[in-house]
Amino acid sequence: MSLFNHFTFIKKVRRCISQLASLCLLILFVGKVYGVDSLLADHKLKVPPKIPKVLLLGIDGLKPSAIPRVNTPVLDKLITDGFISPMLAEDTTWSGPCWATILYGVWRDRHGIYDNSFTGSKLQSIPDLFTHIETAKPVLHTARLTSWTGIRYNMPTAADEDLYWYYQEHQDTETVNKAKDILSTTDIDVLFVYFSMVDVKGHNHGFSADKPEYRQSIEKVDRQIGELLTRIQQRPKFADEDWLILAVPDHGGTIDGQHGKNRPEHRKAWLLASGHAVHHLRKGMNIPPSPVDIVPTILDHLGIDYAPGSLDGHSLLEAFPSYPVKLNKNTLKNGDAEYDRGNVQPFYLANYDNQVSGWLKGGKAVTRGYTAVNQIPLKYVQKGEQRQNAYLFTSLTKEPTTLAQHIDLQGLTTQQSKPLKVTLAADMWGRTADKNLSIKLFFNDAKGFAALRKNDQYAYFFRGDEYYQFDFNKDQVDDGYPADIVSNWPGLDQFKGGARNIDAAVNWGNGKAYFFKGDEYIRYDLKKDQADSGYPLKIKDHWSGLDTFSGGANAIDAAINWGNGITYFFKGDEYICFNMTSDRAAKGYPMFISNWTWSGLQVWPDRIDAAVRRNSIKSYLFKGGYYLRFDHVLNKTDDGFPKAISERSWAGLEQWYQSKHNTELTLNSYQSSARRFLTDTALPSQVESIDVHVNFSGQQQYVDNLSLILRN
């Protein structure tokens, strides 16, 4: 069953249940009238369903990383009653295309808006949220309250009330006052309230919680939302109403007050949903939402159908909650590229970097329609019926790009009495020449990786309870290694769990080195060759700003002293620039690993294993048995990387990764049509998670129907 047919089926089932309930009520009524109470004597009359209502809050320019750092008790309460999820905004992160996507439920390749000039807009022929509502149920009372000219004058609407107050004259005051009045005095059904001042303060002072003006504007909006919620709770019929509350920004931004570029700091957004209708998602969604999901979610809540293909998103009310990995099931999310509507315009006309649901994008990896790239759709048989795929994975650019997905296995592997087998399969084809198309699996355990530069000659590489000494002059690991950490690094055994599983290490350049593990760190005296007394200490208490990492100051992936008074810390898909002189993180961080910040490193968009500086102009970063070389002067990865660790590159260090047993599928020759690739391997012991990377080395390379299945 296709995804669309699946959702259509669910809608039909829900409608049938509703009709059946109505029939039962009718039978009960007839039974009462005609004195046949015994007709359904064993059934109790159900409470009539509550009346669905919607409050949509548009908070322009509120970036997701600011919310945990700002006092927002109202938003926090809404999250408790629902959920908040990361979301990716349009690739042209201007308010025009982003709000059009949110309010019309279609991606920008359909609505035609590229920036705030609205040139090429097709909105006159596309129904917005309120047009859908008023067409299907004109009796419903709807209102759109805004303070930005772009929405007011360039986005047609059928809302019963379309009111506007220019933000430079009124800020958000009149908008909020009118919203409170509508909630208190009318039988409103759907209300959209737009907040402008967070974006204004972001432009004027910087989109960062490090900026007090930006932070204060968020706190003010939180209080204003609280006033709206109070009015909702004071409504005379509140007990009979089922309120769905949604909050969303249009884009993020950077500390320089800018947005509009196709970079993670500008595209990273979020969606908050709260209310009984989304209680099933309080522990998270299996596939995170997208901006085009808002319109179908609201229509679904109101019981309004819409024409197939008229909207690009999915209703959150029918979304699957997060669930643990199961045996004999495909563990990959959106492995067939069919969850999103991929761009179907001819490839040479479409430089649209659309989102790919379920995957973290490292560069411009996208989904495209088969016809858009002149490929014949793959066919498959489902329940005896032949179907064909509509979309595939590919890359927009000649530069290396990656689609990454992290699969958590904790709880699954510990339940198994014997080793599991892993089957990776995919359809792959296209032009490769001297550049390969590959799908890699990185198996992650708790042993950790860390690298520490001692001086121009030596570096140390740590894994589990062992370490290696690498001689740069000889270009090889010295004899006698690996050796035990506990016997050769006095004091590291003070870590919780002992001298093993180091997360990261860095030479501070003053005779001291720092080791990080979990939420602790130890300072090590390199001259005395022992840990300083009084350690370990908590990272969050002594490394100002590292607590701004997602998840807090713990589980650092890598750290590298750049040799210029700056140390970079990596965690997940984020990094922080730490000023060694002021002893604190620079303002505006964390930022994201991308081609904007670490050119070439986008092939590893998250979870770097280790990093070490070679000299004043070159550094090395490592992941899963591979390494790349980064040039400090050119500020980019050297050509030809990543490369595999081997006897020719890091002699003796290949054992550092030996126990990981990574595996991959590789297409290294031209393949004009799809070919099925498959590999089976045993899951290494103690593996806690798997990173899946689809690596494109250029254009005209295609992947579809990925599956990763774990079996006994």
**For 397-406, how does the pLDDT look when each residue is reduced to its tens digit (9 = 90+)?**
989 999 999 9
User: What is the predicted pLDDT for the residue at 14?
Assistant: 45
Mean pLDDT on 356-382? 89
State the pLDDT confidence band at 432, using cuts at 50, 70 and 90. Answer: confident
State the pLDDT confidence band at 131, using cuts at 50, 70 and 90. Answer: very high
Helix/strand/coil for 418: coil
Mean pLDDT on 368-375? 89
Sign of CA dihedral 270, 275, 280, 283: positive
Residue 191 pLDDT exceeds 80: yes
CB 491 within 8 A of CB 525: no
**331, 523, 280: which is closest to 515 by C-alpha?**
523
**84, 114, 120, 82: which is closest to 98 by C-alpha?**
114
Distances (CA, A) of 188 to 163, 233, 442: 14, 13, 52
Please state, as a whole number, how many other Cβ atoms lie within 10 Å of the Cβ of residue 672.
9
For 465-562, strand residue ranges (E) read: 466-471, 476-477, 483-484, 504-507, 512-517, 520-525, 530-531, 537-538, 558-561
Mean pLDDT on 233-242? 97
Residue 522 pLDDT exceeds 50: yes
Residue 470 pLDDT exceeds 70: yes
Q: b/e string for 140-176 if b means 16 or more Cβ within 10 A?
A: bbbbbbbbbebbbebbbbbbbbbbbbebeeebbebbb
**303, 425, 476, 400: which is closest to 636 by C-alpha?**
400
Q: For residue 149, what is the enclosing H or E element?
A: helix 149-154
Residue 199 pLDDT exceeds 50: yes
**185, 189, 163: which is closest to 231 by C-alpha?**
185
pLDDT tens sequence across 322-367: 888 999 999 999 999 999 988 877 665 568 999 999 999 999 999 9
Residue 317 pLDDT exceeds 60: yes
Residue 2 pLDDT exceeds 50: no
**340, 372, 373: which is closest to 356 by C-alpha?**
340
Classified by CATH at the fold level, domain 347-436+668-711 comes out as Jelly Rolls (2.60.120)
Peptide bond preceding 482: is omega within 30 degrees of 0, i.e. cis? yes
- Class at the top of the CATH hierarchy for domain 444-660: mainly beta
> For residue 468, what are its two tokens?
């290696």
CATH architecture for segment(s) 51-275:
3-Layer(aba) Sandwich (3.40)
Instruction: Round to whole Å and give the CA distance between 123 and 100.
Output: 8
**316, 240, 656: which is closest to 468 by C-alpha?**
656
Q: Where are the domains of the chain?
A: 3-40, 51-275, 347-436+668-711, 444-660
More confident residue, 695 or 18: 695
Residue 237 pLDDT exceeds 90: yes
| Percent of residues, the chain, with pLDDT higher than 90 | 79
User: What is the predicted pLDDT for the residue at 546?
Assistant: 98
User: What is the predicted pLDDT for the residue at 492?
Assistant: 98
User: What is the predicted pLDDT for the residue at 661?
Assistant: 61
State the pLDDT confidence band at 411, using cuts at 50, 70 and 90. Answer: confident
Instruction: Round to whole Å and give the CA distance between 423 and 420.
Output: 10
Question: Range with the lowest mean pLDDT among 24-38, 109-123, 359-373, 471-485?
Answer: 24-38
Instruction: Round to whole Å and give the CA distance between 676 and 261.
Output: 37
Question: Range with the lowest mean pLDDT among 123-127, 270-274, 302-306, 646-650?
Answer: 646-650
Amino acid letter, 403: L
User: What is the predicted pLDDT for the residue at 350?
Assistant: 65
pLDDT tens sequence across 252-311: 999 999 999 999 999 999 999 999 999 999 988 999 999 999 999 999 999 999 998 999
Tell the residue number behind the tokens 């070159």, with chain if given.
618
pLDDT tens sequence across 138-160: 999 999 999 999 999 999 999 99
What is the radius of gyration, based on Cα positions, of the chain?
28
Question: Range with the lowest mean pLDDT among 182-186, 326-330, 618-622?
Answer: 326-330
Which residues, 6+ apart, have CB-to-CB distance to 173 below 8 Å? none
Average pLDDT, the chain: 91
**242, 189, 219: which is closest to 51 by C-alpha?**
242
More confident residue, 361 or 18: 361
Instruction: Round to whole Å and give the CA distance between 271 and 245.
Output: 11
State the pLDDT confidence band at 434, using cuts at 50, 70 and 90. Answer: low
For 275-378, strand residue ranges (E) read: 360-362, 365-369
pLDDT tens sequence across 490-514: 999 999 999 999 999 999 999 999 9
Mean pLDDT on 596-608? 96
Mean pLDDT on 480-498? 97
Residue by residue, DSSP assigns 7-73 as HHHHHHHHHHHHHHHHHHHHHHHHHHHTT-GGGGTT-PPPPPPPEEEEEEEEETT--GGGGGGS--H
Please state, as a whole number, how many other Cβ atoms lie within 10 Å of the Cβ of residue 640.
8
pTM: 0.91
User: What is the predicted pLDDT for the residue at 44?
Assistant: 47
More confident residue, 707 or 414: 707
User: What is the predicted pLDDT for the residue at 19?
Assistant: 44
> For residue 500, what are its two tokens?
């093993």
User: What is the predicted pLDDT for the residue at 204?
Assistant: 98
Mean pLDDT on 73-87? 96
Question: Range with the lowest mean pLDDT among 118-127, 446-455, 652-661?
Answer: 652-661
pLDDT tens sequence across 29-45: 434 433 444 433 444 45
